[in-house]
């Protein structure tokens, strides 16, 4: 990484309000119905927040200092990640959700680490970040992207790594923020994300070893 080649933005707040759903499902009175094929719950898509950078990046790191106030009962999903603009879909995610990934620990926060390469989902991990009750607590999240690996960090500690050039996205991607309702659970409370700062640092190829 080259510290002289960085871009930082500061002070962004995203809010998802608990408002009436736009479309009811299966003609029910509420927002949620049942998938007639699988029998699983399905909820109407409510309005959300979707922001994307106008430019794209190829390799480097994105580092976010932010606080999340997502309802412990679930119903809200937040992603910060890198997304392609081409038909060959490529994506790298830092995803967050509460109350829906582990029914035995509904108040725990999970971070989803995942990537798509040409539309195919690569290895996937749900990282348990523990109890999350203080929406004023700023934590540091970082994603390192090189031609051969993807590494996720929380508060400076490596929590997950993929190391295989065959599954690492290899084309320019835009930075994107998404705060949306879950597709299978109604939003119980308002949700907020406060982004204190986001920094992108360009990737610098390692120097070749000195000749003998």
pLDDT reported for residue 60 = 93
CATH of 6-202, picked from 3.40.50.300, 2.60.120.200, 3.30.230.10, 3.40.50.970, is: 2.60.120.200
Q: Per-block average pLDDT, block size 10, for the chain (212 residues)?
A: 50 52 45 54 56 87 84 70 82 72 49 76 73 63 91 88 83 84 58 83 83 70
**Is 76:187 a contact under the CB 8 Å cutoff?**
yes
Spatial CB neighbours of 57, under 8 Å, sequence gap ≥ 6: 82, 172, 173, 174, 175, 200, 202
| pTM flag (> 0.75) | no
Cross-strand partners of 133: none
Supply the pLDDT for residue 80. Answer: 82
Give the pLDDT confidence score for residue 87 in this predicted structure.
77
Answer whether 175's CB lies under 8 Å from 200's CB: yes
Angle 147-149-150 from CA coordinates, rounded to 5°: 115
Token pair belonging to 211: 């000749």
Structural tokens at position 205: 């190829």
The domain segmentation of the chain, as residue ranges, is 6-202
Distance of CA 179 to the CA centre of its chain: 9
So what's the pLDDT on residue 154? 85
């Amino acid at each position: 990484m080259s510290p002289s080649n960085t871009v930082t933005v500061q002070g962004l707040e995203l809010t998802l309000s608990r408002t009436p759903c736009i479309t009811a499902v299966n003609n029910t009175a509420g927002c949620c119905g049942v998938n007639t094929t699988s029998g699983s719950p399905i909820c109407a898509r409510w309005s959300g927040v979707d922001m994307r950078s106008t430019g794209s990046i190829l390799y480097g790191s994105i580092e976010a200092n932010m606080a999340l106030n997502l309802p412990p009962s679930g119903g809200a999903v937040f992603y910060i990640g890198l997304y392609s603009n081409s038909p060959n879909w490529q994506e790298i995610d830092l995803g967050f959700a509460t109350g829906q990934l582990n029914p035995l620990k509904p108040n725990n926060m999970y971070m989803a680490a995942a990537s798509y390469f040409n539309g195919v989902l690569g290895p996937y991990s749900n990282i348990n970040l523990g109890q999350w009750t203080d929406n004023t607590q700023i934590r540091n999240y970082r994603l390192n992207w090189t031609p051969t690996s993807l590494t996720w960090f929380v508060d400076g500690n490596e929590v997950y790594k993929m190391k295989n050039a065959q599954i690492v996205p290899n084309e320019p991607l835009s930075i994107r923020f998404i705060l949306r309702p879950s597709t299978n659970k109604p939003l119980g409370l308002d949700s907020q994300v406060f982004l204190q700062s986001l920094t992108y640092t360009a990737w610098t190829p390692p120097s070749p070893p000195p000749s003998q």
